Amino acid sequence: MYYEIHGNGGIPLVLIHGGGSTIRTTFGNILDLFSKSRKVIAVELQGHGHTADIDRPFTFEQDADDVVALLKFLKTDKADILGFSNGGNTTMQIGIRHPEIVNKLVIISSFYKREGFFPGFFDMMENASLKNMPEQLKAAFLKIDPDSSHLQAMHDKDASRMVHFEDWPDEDLKSILAPTLLISADKDVVLPEHAVAMSYVFLNARLMILPGTHGSFLGEVCTYVKGSKMPELTATAVIEFLDTD
C-alpha cells in the first residue's frame, strides 16, 4: 500500500481518499493545512493511484483491514482517521472492526444506507461507464499509472461496490464509541437529512453541514472553487475537534 507521511507531532491523522481518487485529487488543497500541526499519514487504497490492484473485489471491510495493517507496520498504536466519500465508509469500518486503534473519527460526505443518496443515484451507478468518470480523476490516475486497463479495472470495481452496496444495520454504527465528527455539504451527493440521521445513530457524534457540493469544502479536485477559503475553514474545524478533549 502506498502512503505518504507529512508533518510531525501528536496522534497521527490518517487521510483516506474517495472512490476513483488519489491522495492529491481528494486532499491536495487541504493536506498541508493538517500537517502544519500534526503528523499526517495519507494512503492510497487497493487499485488506486500508486497502490497496485490484486485479484479481489473492492470492499470497505477489506480497505479498513488494509489501512490498519499499514498502521501496525508503521508501529502506530492510536490514530485519528479521516475519510471522504467512500473513504468515509472505510473509516466507519475501521471504527467497527478495529476500535482499539481509533482515537477519533472524521467521516465526510459518507453514508450507511442506500436511501442516503439523492434520487436516481443507484440508477446512474448501474449505467456507469469510464467515459462518464470525471476527467480530472482519470488524468490523475493515468499520470501515476499510464496503463488504461488498470484505470478501467479500478472504475469497474468501484462502480460494482456501489451497485451492490447493502444497508448497514444501526447496531454497527452504535458499536463505534470513539468521538466522531460527521461533515457533509448542503448540496452533496449524500442528502443532508441522511447526515442528520447518522448523527443520531452514532452514540458520540457531532455534525457539521457546510455550504457547497461533494468535496468542495475540502478542495477536492473536481469541485474546488479556486480561491475558496472553505478548505481552511474545514481544516480549522477538524483540527479543533481532534484537539478538544
pLDDT, tens digit, 9 for 90 and up, residues 35-45: 999 999 999 99
pLDDT at 245: 84
Q: Are 59 and 164 in contact (CB under 8 A)?
A: no
The pLDDT confidence band at residue 28, using thresholds 50, 70 and 90, is: very high
Q: How many domains does the chain have?
A: 1
Distance between CA 24 and CA 17 in Å, rounded?
9
**Three-class SS of residue 125?**
helix
- For residues 54-75, give the mean pLDDT: 97
pLDDT at 223: 97
pTM for the whole structure: 0.97
Distance between CA 112 and CA 173 in Å, rounded?
9
Q: Lay out the sheet containing 102-108: strands in order across.
A: 2-6, 40-44, 13-16, 79-84, 102-108, 180-187, 205-213
Distance between CA 179 and CA 193 in Å, rounded?
21
Task: Encode pLDDT of 150-166 as tens digits.
Answer: 999 999 999 999 999 99
Residues in the chain: 245
CATH number where 11 lies: 3.40.50.1820
pLDDT at 42: 98
Supply the range of the domain harboring residue 17.
2-243
**Three-class SS of residue 239?**
helix
